[in-house]
């Protein structure tokens, strides 16, 4: 069975600080996909990134960066120079590569508050 753990329930940082959100996953598959979603106060989940298990290259998108390490089963998310608009709940999710059964397993989320 697959599992995603986000041990940080809530994080608060002052604006412009960097912050890292941790994600640890468990799966028995060798091929799988990892995702990060943002849930602002409005409630709708916003897709941020998708990464397959064969691509361990770190990715940067503006102030966002992701560190994928298969050796530690982690897919951490860093926001650089945080802004108030980054305040949201962030979810990490895992999907095993099983055609016809592409379900997402979500972590419990990390609530990030950026203090102005």
Partner 1 sequence: DGGITQSPKYLFRKEGQNVTLSCEQNLNHDAMYWYRQDPGQGLRLIYYSQIVNDFQKGDIAEGYSVSREKKESFPLTVTSAQKNPTAFYLCASSILSGGSGNKEQFFGPGTRLTVL
Question: Where along the sequence are the contacts to partner 1 (CB under 8 A)?
Answer: 4, 9, 33, 35, 37, 42-47, 50, 52, 91, 95-97, 99-100, 102-104, 106-109
Q: How far is the CB of 15 from partner 1 (least distance, A)?
A: 25
What whole-number distance in Å separates Cα of residue 50 and Cα of residue 73? 15
C-alpha torsion angle, residues 110, 111, 112, 115 (rounded to 10) = -160
Output 31 or 69, the one with its CB closest to partner 1: 31
By three-state DSSP, how is residue 20 classified? strand
Output 76 or 95, the one with its CB closest to partner 1: 95
Q: How far is the CB of 37 from partner 1 (least distance, A)?
A: 8
Rounded (to 5) percent helix, strand, coil in the chain: 5, 55, 40
Q: How far is the CB of 70 from partner 1 (least distance, A)?
A: 16
């Amino acid at each position: 069975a697959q599992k995603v753990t986000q041990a940080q329930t809530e994080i608060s940082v002052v604006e412009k600080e960097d912050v890292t959100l941790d994600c640890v996953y468990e799966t028995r598959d060798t091929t799988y996909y990892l995702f990060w979603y943002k849930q602002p106060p409005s409630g709708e989940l916003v897709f941020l990134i998708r990464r397959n298990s064969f691509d361990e290259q770190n990715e940067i998108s503006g102030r966002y960066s992701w560190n994928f390490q298969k050796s530690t089963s982690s897919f951490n998310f860093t926001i650089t120079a945080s802004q108030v608009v980054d305040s949201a709940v962030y979810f990490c999710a895992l999907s095993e590569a099983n055609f016809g059964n592409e379900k997402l397993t979500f972590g419990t989320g990390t609530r990030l508050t950026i203090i102005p």
